[in-house]
Every structure is written in C-alpha cells, then in structure tokens.
Amino acid sequence: MSGLRERQKADRHRRIIDAATTLFRDAGYEGAKIEAIAAQAEVSIGTIYNYYQNKGDILGAIVSMEVNEVLNAGRGVVASPPANVGDALDTLIGIYIEHSLNYLSKEMWRQAMAISTQLPDSPFGQAYTALDRVLTEQISALIARLQQIGLARSDIDGPAVGELIFNNMNMMFIEFVKRDEAKIPDLRAAIRRQNRILVAAIGG
C-alpha cells in the first residue's frame, strides 16, 4: 500500500508542477492563481498547500526540476568529454543554455532570480543558491576530468576555473533573461567567444 501511496503522491506532485508551468507561461507568474493551478491539476487547493507554502515554492520546484535535468545530462559529458577543452566546455554549457527555456519562460526566470535575491535566507533562496553551487561543481568536475586525461594543464586551479566559467555564464544568462528579444544562439556564441581566452590558457 505504501508503494501505491507514494506513486499517487508523485503523480499529484507532477500534475501540480505541469499545471503551474503551463499557467505561469500563459498567464504570467503574477496572473496565475493557486485556484487555477489546482483546477488544471485536478487536485484540491488544500492538496497544493500540503506540498507548497506559496506560489514561489512551486516556481522553485520547477527551477529544481530544470536544473536536475541538465545536471543529469551533463554527467555524460563529464564522464566522456569531447577531445579538446573548447568543445568539452561548449558541450556542457550548451546543455545548460539550450535546456533553460524548456520549462521556464524568461519571465519565470526573472521571478525566480528576484525571489532568490530578495529572500536569500528563505527555503527558495537557499535552494536556488544550492543549485548554482552544484552547476559550478559540475563545471569544475569537467575541468578535473580534462586534467586527468591530459587535455587541460595539471597546474591550474580547477575549482577556481569552474567558478570563473560558471559566474561569467551566469551573468550573461541574467542579461539574456532580462531582454525578451535576446536569442539562445547569440548567448551561446557570446559565451563561446569569452571562454576562448580561458580555453587557450588552460589547454594542455
């Protein structure tokens, strides 16, 4: 029975996330009401509040789902990277950027960034910071892997390079999210251009 209950709980959770994702995109984050999310997910409003304290927590769950999917995809790149530093970084960062608008619109990203900035000590703010940290750690893990197989210099500070690459990518992503007209291929090209300096410095 407990297995069935867990499956039912997971199904309700997924329906709520799917409904919220659709409504946040269609009506905007502010325009989407908890009542409408409940109706679309075919659950009671009380059920939503069993899982989430507020609408921001639902948005946080969508961000977590997004980041966990790209982390899973990124593990394959770290385990078996392309045969040069530039291609390896471009492949991993490409996964992050290309997937970024799968679930979240730019308006949803702006809301998530605003909540994490305004309420850094809230569960949402702490979770958002933790997700940034694991993305940084994955980039650092890729640098370590490239060092291990002789494609990157062994004398560089891999974790520091990972932080540098993530922080730069993150700032460029924030600028991308701010402007509705900004396009993913342009963002990827700009990141690639800036990373060339690092690639040249760390190549083995």
Are 143 and 85 found together in one domain? Answer: yes
Q: How far is CA 154 from the centre of its chain?
A: 29
Are 91 and 43 found together in one domain? Answer: no
Are 42 and 86 found together in one domain? Answer: no
Are 134 and 191 found together in one domain? Answer: yes
Are 19 and 107 found together in one domain? Answer: no
Q: The CATH number of the domain where 168 resides is what?
A: 1.10.357
pTM of the model: 0.91
Q: Mapping DSSP to helix (H, G, I), strand (E, B) and coil, where does residue 59 land?
A: helix
Distance CA 42, CA 31 (A): 19
Provide the domain count of the chain: 2
Are 180 and 140 found together in one domain? Answer: yes
Are 97 and 144 found together in one domain? Answer: yes
- The per-residue pLDDT for 163 is 96
Distances (CA, A) of 126 to 37, 87, 113, 116, 119: 25, 32, 12, 8, 9
Could you give the angle at which helices 2-27 and 34-41 cross, rounded to 10 degrees?
Answer: 130
Phi, psi of 152 (to 5 degrees): -125, 150
Phi, psi of 102 (to 5 degrees): -65, -45
- The per-residue pLDDT for 46 is 93
Are 87 and 166 found together in one domain? Answer: yes
Q: Which pLDDT tens digits describe the chain residue by residue (204 residues)? A: 668 788 888 888 899 999 999 999 999 999 999 999 999 999 999 999 998 989 999 999 999 999 999 999 999 999 999 999 999 999 999 999 999 999 999 999 999 999 999 989 988 899 999 999 999 999 999 999 999 999 999 999 999 999 999 999 999 999 999 999 999 999 999 999 999 999 999 986
| Residues of the domain holding 47 | 1-51
